[in-house]
Chain A
Amino acid sequence: MTMTQTLKLQIDPIACTGHGLCADLLPELIELDEWGYPIIRDSVPPDLAAHARRAVNACPALALRLNRVAA
């Protein structure tokens, strides 16, 4: 039996200081609220995985994470 896995974006809300780079790099899944903090759709479709990783790596506050979870 194969275990399917999906990628989920997760924000550490305490670490996040609203730089907003993630929304620039991954507008498909992340928008900013009126105060500049990200609102995310956490399930990452496979075709956006590379973009999501790029957004995670770009976060200056190390507040964005990509987790592999069992579907």
Chain B
Amino acid sequence: MSHGPAGHRASAERGIELRRLTLGWHDSDRAATLREHTDRYGPAPLRAMSKHDLLAQVAAAGLTGRGGAGFPTGTKMRAVASNRGPAVVVANGMESEPASEKDQALLARAPHLVLDGIAVAAEAVGAAEAHLCLARTRDWLIDIVAAAVSERQRAGLDHVQVSVHDLPHHYVSSEETSLVHWLNGGDARPVTTPPRPFERGVGKRPTLIDNVETLAHVALIARYGARWFREAGLADAAGTMLMTVTGAVRQPGVYEVEAGAAVGDVLSLAGVDPASEAVLIGGYFGTWHSTSSVAGLPLTAAGLRQAGGSPGAGVLFALPPGSCGLAEAARIMRFLASQGAQQCGPCMFGLPAISEDLAQLAAGRPDGDTLGRMQRRLGVISGRGACHHPDGAVRMAASAMQTFAADAHSHARGRPCVASHRGGSQAVGLPVPRPFAEGEWR
């Protein structure tokens, strides 16, 4: 049981790169069919293990959530399984982080790995229904996933049918309470907790919500076991992880690396421009760092903690040389401020205020003591929303102020750098930040 897929070791390892989830992605440019999938990994591991053993294997594997929060998956599954009555499994494929592409890539190339993971998770927690949530704006992805679900139905593979849903695509719609609220017939907006979804979620039943990459790892742990899973990574950060590497790199894209790989090595894998001096780790919800200060740190929660960062949803953005970090941070902040659920005062008013401060600073046109005002505002927002949206936005802005402190002070004195005049780096800057459609939460 502890043997990986055939040929896995021989063909799939290259330095820190290790192909487990991404095995065979280069063989074709479309989704693996069910046949190709089982050729690659062996048959779906349903009923191969008891519920008890599944839970034990996932816990022993040390798998943590790959959606950003990094919570131990085994602990979450046990909590859901121990609650009364039939449970519900929700797979989170919303990927609302604009800089991240890994969940879309995974669903587009290996949908059956995710669907296997949902089936295994459903068995492990005793679920009678399962849902897969995708962003409504991604028709192409919904089509691929729906086709894979039908393929499995025709093969009579799963006990629990997976319903594929298209949710409004807002940044906060991917929060787990948003998913639950939407599946219960409400808006795709966060709600106040408790109760936590694992206690009372979809249909008031105990609900397991996991990121799609997390579930794909569960599918492999069910096949090959915890010991195999731990052959990659570190003791406190096991397995592999998908990373989206963008910005000033020669080959932007999704990479699967061993957990614990150093930031600098992952950047090198994508061919980072050696002149890039700063990196955004974790995406729009992440933190800015000078590349030299983090290059040697492992891309794990523990490894990045000393630098005040976290792997988040697995994003590295290398700041292009010659572009202004403050201007990039201001663009992100404007996007995040526009993406709140408009429910909680500190977020609704605080983020636009900070966004305006940062924009003034980036442009080198301070209005009074912009720097002092922003620092004060950055200190009073965290922890005061129903969800973590304001916390993440504030952390990103605060890290920019720290990493680009020298720039911030000259900008505050009305001496912006040349790059900020160009309005950020259009050519290789951060992707997307055009706000999604207003309203429409249902």
Contacts and interface: CB of A to CB of B under 8 A. Distances in A.
Given A33-B380, A39-B384, A14 B349 contact: no
B345 A37 contact: yes
Given A33-B380, A37-B384, A13 B191 contact: no
Question: Majority SS of interface residues in chain A?
Answer: loop
B243 to A, nearest CB: 33
Interface string A46-64: 0000000000000000000
A17 B348 CA distance: 11
B344 A14 contact: yes
A26 interface: no
B368 to A, nearest CB: 14
B423 interface: no
Interface string B344-370: 111101100100000000000000000
Interface in B318-372: 343-347, 349-350, 353
B386 interface: yes
Contacts of B385: 13
Nearest to B344: A13
A12 interface: yes
Category for how many chain B residues contact A? 10 to 19
Contacts of B347: 13
A27 interface: no
A interface, size bucket:
10 to 19
A14 B344 CA distance: 5
Nearest to A39: B380
Interface string A11-29: 1111111100000000000
A6 B346 CA distance: 27
B192 interface: yes
A37 B349 contact: yes
Contacts of A15: 192
A36 B384 CA distance: 13
Nearest to B347: A13
A36 B353 CA distance: 14
B107 to A, nearest CB: 31
B384 to A, nearest CB: 6
B345 A16 contact: yes
Contact of A18 (B343, B345, B377, B386): B345
B384 A35 contact: no
Contacts of B377: 34
Given A33-B350, A35-B350, A13 B345 contact: yes
B216 to A, nearest CB: 33
A69 B380 CA distance: 25
B192 A12 contact: yes
Given A18-B345, A35-B345, A37-B345, A13 B384 contact: yes
Interface of B: 191-192, 343-347, 349-350, 353, 377, 380, 384-386
6 contacts: A13-B192, A14-B386, A35-B345, A35-B346, A35-B350, A37-B384
Interface of A: 11-18, 33-37, 39
The 10 nearest A-B residue pairs measured at CB:
A37-B345, A13-B344, A35-B349, A14-B343, A14-B386, A13-B386, A18-B345, A12-B192, A14-B192, A37-B346
